[in-house]
Amino acid sequence: MTVRKKLQETAAKAVESVQDALTPDTPPGRPGPVPPPLEEPTEPHDPLPRKPDQQAPDARSATGGPSDDRAQQGAYVTTAQGVRVSSTDHSLRAGARGPTLLQDHHLREKVMHFDHERIPERVVHARGAAAHGTFVANGAASSVTSAGFLAEGVETPVFVRFSTVLGSRGSADTVRDTRGFATKFYTADGTFDLVGNNIPVFFIQDGIKFPDVIHAGKPHPDREIPQAQSAHDTFWDFVSLHTEATHHTIWNMSDRGIPRSYRMMEGFGVHTFRLVAADGTTTLVKFHWKPRLGVHSLTWEEAQMAAGVDPDFHRRDLADAIESGAHPQWDLGIQTFPDTPEQTFEGIDLLDPTKIVPEELAPVQPIGTLTLTHNPTNYFAETEQVAFHTGHLVPGIDITDDPLLAARNFSYLDTQLTRLGGPNFAQIPINRPHAPVNDMQRDGFHQHAVHEGVAPYRPNTLDGGCPFIAGEDVSRYVEAPVTVPEAAKVRADPTSPTAAISFDDHYTQPRQFYLSMTPVERTHIAQAYTFELGKCYEQAIKERALRTLANIDTDLCLTVANGLGLEPPTTGALEQPEPSPALSQVGGAWPVDGRLVGILVDSGGSLEGVRAARDAVADAGMVPLVVSDRGGVLDDGDGEPMAVQRTYTTVRSIELDAVLVAGPLPPGPDAVQALDAEAGAPPPADGAGTGPQAQRLDPRMALLLGEMHRHAKAIGGWGQAEAVLAAAGLNPSGAGVVIGDDGAQSVDTLIGVLAGHRVWERFPPPAL
């Protein structure tokens, strides 16, 4: 459904319900009795039909009953055994006020199930949100891989889960952290999982250190604080001692650590993978997801506010955008490198997951497009139970000897045993492959299949030799025949003798990252380090962290040291690597699909321009939110009435990407009365201010506009917007403020500003 259609339906429904509630003599434009709650414009509606492939393959009852695993069927409440009950509200008792009886099997079963509803949350990436979609390949990868789903025009269903890393399942979305970007491709040749992050490098080079970095990042073991953040001593203790983490850490401290939306993040496979072509030739690749909406971030203040005002900010944003028809899209791309014995490219070690290959050296070539089209029907069944694994590979895609990837290939299977309760998690609907499964695995906890046949082993004659080993005539997984060099078993640093940027180089690429940033991005990085280290208690840790910064950039180190009130360590001259402009996220013009535009409307004024503005916003694929001084429905008696979606009490700047000030906006009656009362004046009879205070703005509106301005967002309007902005203390002709002739035209000019995401020129950054 389009944004516009959805809005029209919602508004019509809201108007209908309020009109029903109005008394016959209520004049139009005045609120009647308390209206029923309004529907959100993007509130999820009719659940989607089940996908045929999510039906159990052969889950029939052991007694040969009907093959039907549909949950919650039939019109009557039953026990778990399908027995209809006469009451589910009262437990069985000896007399209405007497003791509860142990023989109440319904009570016992109901509470037993409830007691066990929770499963262990993921040990990392516990907080997440997901969506279904499709991936369509453009065929460009066919020359380097035999993977069937990457052939031209092949459409593959996908399920994508985004996540934070450190926080618990109920933690806030907008904390400073890495974001997970995990994609399950249900290909015709089996399931392929690309389990990536929004940052192209990792903290550690060897998976044996994963427990260390996670223990350091998680809350302190004694008080279990702070939740979902790295601004604490143990994290900085670890990363300042363990300098291979420097590269990932500076990405975290950049704006990448606080994305505006899951829809506006890049994704990276991080490791180098090996693609295998039909003729057996191999190519090393790195996977990249490029969002069509561009890469955008919150400001740090917004991120902190959202953590309190709307901890579900990213989850809501994703679901609302998909629900309203603004389906997010990413292009999948690969950087390709020759598969040489050294496994290096342009002096960069490809087996080291703490290094990137700049796009200027190896361009990202698009190989297909992902579109997220619908939200999960049930959070637990799908988003919580989905199990990703780096070892879920399909023919044509193989791994390399990256030591981090090797540990991951063990860990992801292993963790599901605890989290999903046994080895049969591939039978959970969301994890079921869309290819036939005949794996000869049997039994185990939560076995749903009733397998036929007597010979789950090979070779056999009793089941007619079935299942058979795939021959060359069909797609089958064949490991690339890579030569493993003869070597002694060692526990040692895998530094490459041929790569200049190898496992032991911890600073060249962090320095390159910093030098590739625009001034405003550098300012944010310095502020983030100052904030995070400012939250540490141990002086020695802060000093050690400054020594790391001194190896990245002298000015950065100086700025952070000044902020902390510490002496900056002295450094020698640092080598200046070539910047990689592709690393910066500032600049360019981007689609505005799904962006939220608040329209500030006077509840007593004309709605003519407002209707035009609202339609223009929706037509541009954005989501208009009508904000007024009171809730309910606005009706100027001159056209279609309009539902108010936010009031100055329920809106905060963080949920809006841009704001439009519509027409005349007198102060809200509460504000005027409060001001008049302050001045000792009697309350006005008609609720509208008459004295000089009446020219003052509703303070909540002034707060909203001030925050929009401070967060470098687009501001527009028409009519008396200039006066309103001036009353809010803002410059109506300042950067990123556009005043139009009418509602529709204001939207046009606003889109021009919004396409750049932020108006950073409003606050020229101090030179670092």
Residue 365 in contact with residue 336, Cβ under 8 Å?
yes
The two tokens of residue 350 are 């490809």
Q: What residues pair up with 642 in beta bridges, in sequence order?
A: 634
Total number of residues that touch ligand HDD (CB under 6 A): 26
Smaller CB separation from ligand HDD, 126 or 303: 126
- Judged by CB under 6 A, the chain residues 628 through 667 that form the site for ligand HDD are none
**Shortest spacing between CB 304 and ligand HDD, in angstroms:** 24
Among 148, 190, 207, 668, binds ligand HDD (CB under 6 A): 207
CB contact set of 715 (below 8 Å; sequence gap of 6+)? 658, 659, 661, 705, 708, 709, 725, 730, 736, 737, 738
Site string for ligand HDD, 265-294 (x = CB under 6 A): -----x------------------------
Among 148, 190, 196, 719, binds ligand HDD (CB under 6 A): 196
Smaller CB separation from ligand HDD, 318 or 712: 318
The two tokens of residue 197 are 């992050």
Site string for ligand HDD, 391-410 (x = CB under 6 A): -------------x--xx--
The DSSP code sequence of 655-721 is: G-SEEEE-S--PPPHHHHHHHHHHTTPPPPTTSS--SGGGGSPPHHHHHHHHHHHHTT-EEEE-TTH
Q: Please provide residue 331's backbone torsions phi and psi, each rounded to the nearest 5 degrees.
A: -95, 135
Look at residues 181, 27, 237, 712 and name the one whose alpha carbon lies nearest to residue 19: 27
The two tokens of residue 589 are 């013009």
**Shortest spacing between CB 580 and ligand HDD, in angstroms:** 20
Q: Is 197 a binder of ligand HDD (CB under 6 A)?
A: yes
Smaller CB separation from ligand HDD, 392 or 646: 392
Give the Cα separation of 61 and 82 in Å (integer): 13
Among 236, 337, 345, 388, binds ligand HDD (CB under 6 A): 388
Residue 642 in contact with residue 617, Cβ under 8 Å?
no
The two tokens of residue 226 are 């702070």
Write the CA distances from 717 to 468, 624, 695, 741, integer angstroms. Answer: 69, 14, 18, 8
Q: Is 259 a binder of ligand HDD (CB under 6 A)?
A: no
* Of 385-393, 490-498, 624-632, 760-768: span binding ligand HDD (CB under 6 A): 385-393
The letter for the amino acid at 694 is: A
Name the one residue in this structure whose structure tokens are 């299949």. Answer: 449
**Shortest spacing between CB 266 and ligand HDD, in angstroms:** 12
- Judged by CB under 6 A, the chain residues 411 through 450 that form the site for ligand HDD are 411-412, 415
Name the one residue in this structure whose structure tokens are 């205070």. Answer: 693
Q: Shortest Cβ contact with ligand HDD: which residue?
A: 180
Smaller CB separation from ligand HDD, 124 or 351: 124
Structure letter (DSSP) for residue 78: B
**Shortest spacing between CB 238 and ligand HDD, in angstroms:** 15
Cis bond before residue 459 (omega within 30° of 0): yes
Q: Is 231 a binder of ligand HDD (CB under 6 A)?
A: no
**Shortest spacing between CB 95 and ligand HDD, in angstroms:** 50
Q: Please provide residue 114's backbone torsions phi and psi, each rounded to the nearest 5 degrees.
A: -60, -45
Q: Is 182 a binder of ligand HDD (CB under 6 A)?
A: yes
**Shortest spacing between CB 673 and ligand HDD, in angstroms:** 51
Residue 527 in contact with residue 768, Cβ under 8 Å?
no
Among 41, 180, 257, 668, binds ligand HDD (CB under 6 A): 180
Give the Cα separation of 186 and 167 in Å (integer): 29
Among 6, 161, 248, 652, binds ligand HDD (CB under 6 A): 161
- Judged by CB under 6 A, the chain residues 691 through 750 that form the site for ligand HDD are none
Structure letter (DSSP) for residue 171: S
**Shortest spacing between CB 455 and ligand HDD, in angstroms:** 33
**Shortest spacing between CB 213 and ligand HDD, in angstroms:** 8
Structure letter (DSSP) for residue 84: B
Site string for ligand HDD, 109-148 (x = CB under 6 A): -------------xxxx--x--------------------
- Dihedral angle of Cα 619, 623, 628, 631, to the nearest 10 degrees: 110
Among 131, 147, 175, 195, binds ligand HDD (CB under 6 A): 195
Smaller CB separation from ligand HDD, 53 or 212: 212
CB contact set of 399 (below 8 Å; sequence gap of 6+)? 271, 273, 274, 390, 393, 405, 406, 409
Smaller CB separation from ligand HDD, 160 or 759: 160
**Shortest spacing between CB 388 and ligand HDD, in angstroms:** 4
Q: Based on the number of CB atoms within 10 Å of its own CB, is 174 exposed (0-12), middle (13-18) or buried (19 or more)?
A: buried
Neighbours of 465 (CB within 10 A): 11
Smaller CB separation from ligand HDD, 6 or 179: 179
**Shortest spacing between CB 415 and ligand HDD, in angstroms:** 4
Which residues have a catalytic role annotated?
125, 197
Site string for ligand HDD, 295-334 (x = CB under 6 A): ----------------------------------------
Residue 635 in contact with residue 11, Cβ under 8 Å?
no
* Of 193-201, 245-253, 333-341, 756-764: span binding ligand HDD (CB under 6 A): 193-201
Among 167, 217, 353, 368, binds ligand HDD (CB under 6 A): 353
Residue 434 parent element (H or E):
none
Smaller CB separation from ligand HDD, 126 or 651: 126
Smaller CB separation from ligand HDD, 170 or 764: 170
CB contact set of 227 (below 8 Å; sequence gap of 6+)? 167, 168, 171, 219
Smaller CB separation from ligand HDD, 210 or 718: 210
**Shortest spacing between CB 419 and ligand HDD, in angstroms:** 7
Smaller CB separation from ligand HDD, 337 or 412: 412
The contact set with ligand HDD (CB under 6 A) reads: 122-125, 128, 161, 163, 180, 182, 195-197, 202, 207, 210, 270, 353, 386-388, 404, 407-408, 411-412, 415
